[in-house]
Structure 1
Amino acid sequence: MSVGVLFTQGLVTGEPRRVLAEILEQAEVADRAGFAAALTTEHKYSDEYFGSPLPLSFAIAARTERVRVGTAIAIAPLYNPIELAQDAAMLDQLSGGRAWLGLGAGYMPVDYSTVGVPWEDRARRFDETVRILRAAHGAERFSFAGDLYSFDDVAVIPRPVAADGIPLHLAAWTPGGLRRAGRLGDGWITNALMSLPTMTAMADTYRAAAADAGRSPHVTAVRFCWPYTSREAALEKFGDTALAMARTLFDYGAITDLPGVGSSAEITLEEFVRDRFVFGTPDECVETIRRFSDDAGVDDFLMVFRYPTGPHHAAVVEAMELFAGEVMPHVSAPAVPA
Structure 2
Amino acid sequence: MGFGVVFTQGVASGDPHQVTGEILEQAEAADRLGYSAALTTEHKYSEEYFGSPLHLAYAIAARTERVKVGTSIAIAPLYNPVELAQDAAMLDQLSGGRLFLGLGAGYLPEDYQTVGVPWKDRIQRFDETVRIIRQAWTSDRFSFTDRIYDVQDVSVIPRPVQSPTPPIHLAAWSPGGLARAGRLGDGWISNALMSVDTMRQMGDAYREAARESGRRPRVTAIRFCWTAESREDAVRDFGATAVDMVRTLWTYGAITDMPGVTAADQITLDDLMGDRMIFGTPEECRAAIAGYRATAGVDDFLLIFRHPSGPAQDRVLAAMELFAAEVMGKDGGPDLP
The TM-score range, normalised by the shorter chain, is over 0.9
C-alpha contact (below 8 Å) 1:218/1:299 kept by paired residues:
yes
The offset of 1:250, in angstroms, is 0.2
C-alpha contact (below 8 Å) 2:3/2:334 kept by paired residues:
no
Could you say which residue in structure 2 is the equivalent of 1:57? Answer: 57
The offset of 1:334, in angstroms, is 4.0
AA paired with 1:148? I
The offset of 1:87, in angstroms, is 0.3
Could you say which residue in structure 1 is the equivalent of 2:23? Answer: 23
Could you say which residue in structure 2 is the equivalent of 1:275? Answer: 275
C-alpha contact (below 8 Å) 1:34/1:335 kept by paired residues:
no
Pairing of 1:221-232 with structure 2 (within 5 A): 221-232=221-232
AA paired with 2:12? V
CA distance in 1, matches of 2:262, 2:223: 23
AA paired with 2:92? D
CA deviation string 1:273-302 (max 9, x = no partner): 000000011011011001101111100000
SS, match of residue 74 in structure 2: strand
CA deviation string 1:120-163 (max 9, x = no partner): 00000000000000000011111101110011111000000023
C-alpha contact (below 8 Å) 1:243/1:268 kept by paired residues:
yes
C-alpha contact (below 8 Å) 1:138/1:163 kept by paired residues:
no
SS, match of residue 69 in structure 2: strand
Could you say which residue in structure 2 is the equivalent of 1:121? Answer: 121
C-alpha contact (below 8 Å) 1:182/1:208 kept by paired residues:
yes
The offset of 1:216, in angstroms, is 0.5
Could you say which residue in structure 1 is the equivalent of 2:326? Answer: 326
CA distance in 1, matches of 2:211, 2:279: 33
C-alpha contact (below 8 Å) 2:225/2:305 kept by paired residues:
yes
Could you say which residue in structure 2 is the equivalent of 1:192? Answer: 192
* TM-score computed with the length of structure 2 as normaliser: 0.99
Unaligned runs of at least 5 residues, structure 2: none
SS, match of residue 73 in structure 2: strand
CA distance in 2, matches of 1:185, 1:309: 33
* TM-score computed with the length of structure 1 as normaliser: 0.98
The offset of 1:70, in angstroms, is 0.1
Is structure 2 residue 249 aligned with structure 1 residue 253?
no
Is structure 2 residue 21 aligned with structure 1 residue 11?
no
Could you say which residue in structure 2 is the equivalent of 1:48? Answer: 48
Unaligned runs of at least 5 residues, structure 1: none
C-alpha contact (below 8 Å) 1:223/1:302 kept by paired residues:
yes
C-alpha contact (below 8 Å) 2:73/2:104 kept by paired residues:
yes
Could you say which residue in structure 1 is the equivalent of 2:313? Answer: 313
Could you say which residue in structure 1 is the equivalent of 2:141? Answer: 141
AA paired with 1:217? P
The offset of 1:330, in angstroms, is 1.6
AA paired with 2:206? Y
Could you say which residue in structure 2 is the equivalent of 1:237? Answer: 237
Could you say which residue in structure 2 is the equivalent of 1:216? Answer: 216
CA deviation string 1:301-334 (max 9, x = no partner): 0000000100010000000000000001121114
CA distance in 2, matches of 1:56, 1:249: 23
AA paired with 1:230? S
Which deviates more, 157-166 or 305-314?
Answer: 157-166
SS, match of residue 85 in structure 2: helix
In the TM superposition, structure 1's runs of 4+ consecutive aligned residues that sit over 6 Å from their partners are none
Pairing of 1:65-80 with structure 2 (within 5 A): 65-80=65-80
SS, match of residue 275 in structure 1: coil
CA distance in 2, matches of 1:65, 1:89: 17
CA distance in 2, matches of 1:335, 1:170: 18
The offset of 1:335, in angstroms, is 4.1
Could you say which residue in structure 2 is the equivalent of 1:35? Answer: 35
RMSD of aligned alpha carbons: 1.0
The offset of 1:175, in angstroms, is 0.5
Could you say which residue in structure 2 is the equivalent of 1:288? Answer: 288
Could you say which residue in structure 1 is the equivalent of 2:264? Answer: 264
| Identical pairs, percent | 64
Could you say which residue in structure 2 is the equivalent of 1:131? Answer: 131
CA distance in 1, matches of 2:237, 2:83: 40
Residue 334 and residue 50 in structure 1: after superposition, are their counterparts in 2 closer, same or farther (change >3 A)? Answer: closer
CA distance in 1, matches of 2:15, 2:325: 31
Could you say which residue in structure 2 is the equivalent of 1:207? Answer: 207
